[in-house]
Amino acid sequence: MQIKTMAEYFANGETPEILFWVGCAGSFDQRAQKITKAFATILDKVGVRFAILGKEESCTGDPARRAGNEFIFQMMAQNNIAVLNGYEVKKIVTACPHCFNTLRNEYPELGGHYEVIHHATYLQQLIDDGKIRMQESGSFKGRKITYHDSCYLGRANNIYEAPRKVLEALDAELVEMKRCKSNGLCCGAGGAQMFKEEEKGTTRINFERGREAVDTGASVIAANCPFCMTMLTDGVKEQGKEDNVQVLDIAEMIAQQMV
């Protein structure tokens, strides 16, 4: 596989169909890199001409803004917009709901207007268009899967159905947690909490969510966010269930099962 950067496309006078915005977690976090690779594999298999920004990509500024540091946010945002506009980017797909939300909702008023799609929606489109086809008897067939709504895809942007539709393609048994969709419980990482200790409480948010997910009896917890991935994995470990319950991104599940 040959993953090309925007700069490489540009140098050849070509334009890719989409820009795959990888995000910091997807680039640097070892676990999240697997999601990135899985999504890149899917794009490659279905023959989408995609580019990454590579070393030209920067943090969108999401955690800085939510922690209260608008200066750092503006620096990142304005630099990113300059790069994206420089390449005349039209369509962006990302596997991180935080990047998705910031690029989609917060960049336009700073001059960055793009069609921004989260990979859950994009995968659903590819499945609907028949571009992704699944193996007849995949390894998820009939298994109990529970889906964790990330706050930034769900409540923040009202996307609840796309990831569930993607999971339906796996022919698995989808079981819902008590708190799901617009009632979903946060993994505990949003609002820059990922980057600091939690305040003192009776338990950790991800422990609470991990317990709730494990209680469904599902053997797979499906996530759509690299931060939820980290938090839920820890939550499952706290329940001592890491050998029986996997936490997987929907892109990983599709990549594993597609023909």
Restricted to residues 109-148, the positions that interact with another protein (CB under 8 A) are 109-110
What is the maximum alpha-carbon separation in the chain?
58
Residue 218 Cβ vs another protein, minimum distance, rounded to whole Å: 20
Phi then psi for residue 119, to 5 deg, are: -60, -25
Residue 130 Cβ vs another protein, minimum distance, rounded to whole Å: 26
Nearer to another protein, 138 or 226 (CB): 226
Residue with tokens 């339906």: 168
Q: What is the C-alpha radius of gyration for the chain, rounded to an integer number of angstroms?
A: 18
| Subset of residues 4 to 63 that bind another protein, contact rule: CB under 8 A | 5, 22, 24, 26-29, 33, 36-37, 40-41, 52, 54-55, 57-59, 61, 63
Q: What b/e readout covers 112-137, taking b as 16+ CB neighbours within 10 angstroms? A: bebebbbbbbbbbbbbeeeebebeee
d(CA 73, CA 79): 10
Residue 58 Cβ vs another protein, minimum distance, rounded to whole Å: 4
Nearer to another protein, 64 or 218 (CB): 64
Query: Is residue 203 a contact residue for another protein (CB under 8 A)?
Result: yes
43: which 2 tokens?
């794009």
| Subset of residues 211 to 250 that bind another protein, contact rule: CB under 8 A | none
115: which 2 tokens?
């069609």
Residue 85 Cβ vs another protein, minimum distance, rounded to whole Å: 13
Residue 34 Cβ vs another protein, minimum distance, rounded to whole Å: 9
As to burial, measured by CB atoms within 10 angstroms (0-12 exposed, 13-18 middle, 19+ buried), residue 181 is middle
| Subset of residues 78 to 97 that bind another protein, contact rule: CB under 8 A | 78-79, 82
d(CA 187, CA 233): 10
**Which H or E run includes 197?**
none
Piece in contact with another protein (CB under 8 A), picked from 8-16, 134-142, 195-203, 217-225: 195-203
Residue 153 Cβ vs another protein, minimum distance, rounded to whole Å: 9
**Which H or E run includes 122?**
helix 119-128
Q: How many residues in the shown chain lie near another protein by CB under 8 A?
A: 76
Piece in contact with another protein (CB under 8 A), picked from 117-125, 126-134, 187-195, 249-257: 187-195
Residue 229 Cβ vs another protein, minimum distance, rounded to whole Å: 15
Nearer to another protein, 130 or 201 (CB): 201
| DSSP-derived pairing of the beta strands 91-94 and 115-118 | parallel
Nearer to another protein, 69 or 135 (CB): 69
